[in-house]
Amino acid sequence: MEYTITEQKPTRALLVEADTGDYDAEASLAELFELTESAGAIPVAAITQKLQRLDPAACVGSGKLLEIRDYCENEDIDLIIFDLELSPVQIRNIEKETDVRVIDRTMLILDIFALRAKSREGKIQVELAQLKYMMPRLTGKGVEMSRLGGGIGTRGPGETKLETDRRHIKRRMETLKAQLRDVEDHRKQLRERRDKDGVITVAIVGYTNAGKSTLMNTLTDAGVLSEDKLFATLDPTSRALKLPNGVSVMLIDTVGLVRRLPHHLVDAFKSTLEEAAQADIILNVCDASSEESRLHLDVTRELLASLSSLDKPIIPVLNKCDLITDNMTGISGAVRISAKYGQGIDDLLKAIEDNLPKKLKRVKLLLPFDKAGMAAKLRETAVLHSEEYTAEGLLVEVTVDEIQYGRIREYVLKD
């Protein structure tokens, strides 16, 4: 028996921007193109309308809605994506007029999250965010609910739950919150263990698609997914990095940020972002080739401020500098790099060393043979460069912090 495999036709999407002047509509629309491509659809075109205020019935005016309808008919459009958050009534009215499925910016972002989440925590967070978003939109969604079953805006762990009643969804949300608390407790225990062991953590944060995962791979060969797509990394990844001075740190890659990220999405992913908030050093990475690079740095810094992280050393990292000639002056303490080609990595490592939370000393010791326990402790907790058995005792070269130095001071060899 022969089977015919039919390839699924790519989703053709029309993007709609309702510009009320509340934000940079042009930049936001450009980002929506990238988001649409990251979700696996083809952004065919965009239609924009300047408005003093949004139409409560269909977001855009009646004439513009007819233009959208005609374009969809003529260009075989499968999906309409609005670059703002729509009400259930607006979605229903637009779909009725155009006979095309409609989603908004938040639904698109949730869809990408659902596509990218791999870990248990990531999947829980995605489903919880989906349910929070859909909960107030359940009333009167009979037509839309019957159309769920695949495609952009309908994917994810929570899709089969949306046809149940509100009470069941509330129970599911409580279950997810309990599961998330368990994961957060486990993450907290890991952080406490790292603190107890004196592990120094360095978090890579920044706007999505800034090259954070590429930087992670360059520094540690971690093999983290690195694609030119928004939200390519959703789950945090931790890898050890040994600095040139011999000190080892834990490098953490986190989910990227995006402009106008709905507040409940920030809340849902708070535990992931707290990995950055709890780090000893924060690398604020931006795409220096983007016209929005300074804004991206500020967006990230604002989020860090909301997580009470501004007391930590924050190093601005200007990535993709191989694509620009502008020096981007005026950014205090910034390091220019190209993670893709390895340019400026030595400068970045030096900046990390300069911001280590503990003052470190590299010293030579001569430990008596009866201090074998001290030597064993140094092997576990310090950076051991060399050791050699001599007639007088164990000759050791190590890098230690101030506390460790106080314990071994009497055995330090003077130059």
| Amino acid identity, position 351 | A
Token pair for 273: 């972002």
- E strand residue ranges, 20-143: 42-50, 79-82, 101-104
DSSP 3-state of 50: strand
Position with higher pLDDT, 85 vs 268: 85
Residue 384 pLDDT: 81
C-alpha to C-alpha distance for 29 and 352, rounded to whole angstroms: 36
pLDDT in tens, 306-336: 777 777 888 999 999 888 766 556 688 889 9
Cα dihedral 175, 178, 182, 183 sign: positive
C-alpha to C-alpha distance for 87 and 215, rounded to whole angstroms: 39
C-alpha to C-alpha distance for 282 and 291, rounded to whole angstroms: 23
Residue 196 pLDDT: 61
State the helix-helix crossing angle for 270-277 and 120-134, rounded to 10 degrees.
130
Exposure of 17 in the CB half-sphere (CA atoms within 13 A): 19
What does the pLDDT average to over 220-236?
58
pLDDT in tens, 163-200: 556 778 888 889 988 988 887 787 777 767 766 666 78
Q: Name the one residue in this structure whose structure tokens are 């007639």.
A: 391
The two beta strands, 383-389 and 394-401, are antiparallel
**Which of 104-113, 115-124, 293-302, 339-348 is least confident?**
115-124
- E strand residue ranges, 64-199: 79-82, 101-104
C-alpha to C-alpha distance for 75 and 19, rounded to whole angstroms: 24
